[in-house]
Amino acid sequence: MKFFVDTAEIDAIRDLAATGLLDGVTTNPSLIAKSGRDFKEVTKEICGIVDGPVSAEVVAIDHATMMKEAEILRKIADNVCIKVPLTVDGLKTCKALSSEGTMVNVTLCFSANQALLAAKAGATFISPFVGRHDDNGFDGMDLIEDIRLIYDNYNFATEILVASVRHTTHVLQAAKIGADVMTAPPAVIHALFKHVLTDKGIEGFMADWAKTGQSIL
């Protein structure tokens, strides 16, 4: 499963990229606003840090303006992936862009039927929001299972990008189901490293090493 980080914070992206685990980045207008920086400037800098897809979202809601915005965004770098909402106009834009060879991430997916539409429109990625789904009384992972089944039934090339990931259990469940990608905030990805027995093991090794009075350096 590919790991994307869901942030526009440059330091956090650099830190995770240094681990070799980072396959891409997702952003949105809310995350860019939190960074307090220029949208295009931030996107360009992120594209220079990671080789994989960097999702940059259009803010228009009509097809014609989405296409104009996408034209500007995809010139920023070769690894920009245009992010569009799962609406009729969004899927028109998806179809037009994907037909031209541009990567497209269709976002705000909350049903398997919506995911089916996105795949038929040629989406590179579909982003079902599991956390928000959970918040509203549904099981977000049931949605991922349904999408996986449908995509496998018809051999769709669209990759399932699990979004709105809230905790490490979401990551584990997504991997077990067979999602292609997950995107999570830096804190969730860092939490994947943590285990009480790992911490105890390191403490024990360090204590035993101290007793030897030796130094590797």
Task: Scan for tokens 């499963």, then name that residue.
Answer: 1
Decide if 125 contacts 181 (C-beta within 8 A): yes
For residues 118 and 85, the answer to whether their CB atoms sit within 8 Å is no
CA 78 – CA 38 distance, rounded (Å): 19
Q: Is 200 tagged catalytic?
A: no
Give dist(CA 103, CA 80) in Å, integer: 7
Q: How far apart are CA 106 and CA 112, in angstroms?
A: 13
How many Å separate Cα 32 from the centre of its chain? 15
**Do the Cβ atoms of 106 and 121 come closer than 8 Å?**
yes
- Give the type of residue at 80: V
**Is 58 in contact with 83 (CB distance < 8 Å)?**
yes
- Given 2, 83, 92, 95, the catalytic residue: 83
Would you please indicate which residues are annotated as catalytic (active-site) residues? 83
